[in-house]
Amino acid sequence: MKEKILILEDEIGIRSFVSINLKREGYEIIEAGTGQEALEKISKEPDIKLALLDVMLPDISGIEVCKFIRQNFDQVGVIMLTAKAQEDDKIEGFISGADDYMVKPFSIKELLVRVSALLRRVKKDENLSKGNEIVSDSFVLNLDKRKLFKDNEEIELTPTEFSIVKYLMKNSNQSLSRDQILNEVWGTNYLYDFKIVDVNIRRIRNKIEEDPSKPKYIQTVWGYGYCFRKEE
């Protein structure tokens, strides 16, 4: 079954170019030219696996569409495609829930690599055995269902957040560098700004920590990276 990808882009030339290349890779493409159209289509197509979102649109911004996806379809992967290249713009995109961020003009080859990498994180592994869990204190990470539970309460995670938590919990009480986290979660085929790690960690802390400003579980290793603390 072909994976469905939503392309939200108001410039028809860019949208068609991206669509043609993704179709060549075997994906099923759903196109939208406005934010409102994107909201309607993703609501009607709940099996969409990934969304490519332009940021600057004539109606609803791609940031708002991303927030809607995170609130209603949290397992959908999101890549922002935008001409806004400032660091604050990238951080705003990541905080809104984006998994990745590409600045126009972009290489179509790099886009295809990033789409493939994100889809691997989105996909559930149907072959995992039952009871495949990582347990740490009050946390249970269920690898079959790709869900995180704290004190038996589910905590909603994006595909990227799940991958980060999985890596941290598998290596609990070990200091992991930002570079190690980048390589594990985003891959080694292309370079990312370390900010993508920091912003995702911030989002995860807001979900799992009693006081995100004084994290108990995901602690910062200053000048290096992060560590998931497990009580001895």
Domain limits, the chain: 4-124, 133-228
Helix (H, G, I), strand (E, B) or coil at 79: strand
Q: Any idea which residue has 């935008």 for tokens?
A: 82
Give the mean model confidence (pLDDT) for residues 166-179. Answer: 93
Q: Given this model, what pLDDT does residue 128 score? A: 43
Q: Is 51 exposed, middle or buried (0-12, 13-18, 19+ CB in 10 A)?
A: buried
Assigned fold of 4-124: Rossmann fold (3.40.50)
Confidence of residue 85 (pLDDT cuts 50, 70, 90): low
Q: Is CATH 3.30.160.270 the right assignment for the domain spanning 133-228?
A: no
Residue 63 clears pLDDT 60, i.e. is over it: yes
Mean residue pLDDT of the chain comes to: 87
Q: Report the pLDDT averaged over residues 64-78.
A: 90
- 232 pLDDT band, cuts 50/70/90, is low
The contacts of residue 232 (CB under 8 Å, 6+ apart) are none
Query: Which whole number is the average pLDDT over 5-16?
Result: 95
Q: What does the CA dihedral 56, 59, 64, 68 come to, rounded to 10 degrees?
A: -130
Token pair belonging to 120: 């691997």
pLDDT confidence of 84, banded at 50, 70, 90? confident
The pLDDT of residue 214 is 93
Instruction: Indicate whether 44 pLDDT > 60.
Output: yes
Give tens-digit pLDDT for 137-162: 789 998 877 889 999 899 988 888 99
Q: How confident is the model over 53-73, as a mean pLDDT?
A: 91
pLDDT per position as a tens digit, 173-226: 999 999 999 888 887 655 567 788 998 999 999 999 999 999 999 999 998 999
Range 11-37 average pLDDT: 95
Q: Which residues contact 128 (CB under 8 A, 6 or more apart)?
A: 143, 144
**Amino acid (one-letter) located at 73:** F
Distance of alpha carbon 182 from alpha carbon 193, whole angstroms: 9
Mean pLDDT along residues 68-94: 82
- By CB atoms closer than 10 A (0-12, 13-18, 19+), residue 20 is exposed
- Answer yes or no: is pLDDT of 122 > 80: no
CA separation for the pair 93, 158 (Å, rounded): 14
Distance of CA 82 to CAs 22, 52, 53, 69, 200, Å? 18, 10, 8, 18, 19
d(CA 195, CA 139): 26
Count of alpha carbons within 13 Å of 152, Cβ hemisphere only?
Answer: 0
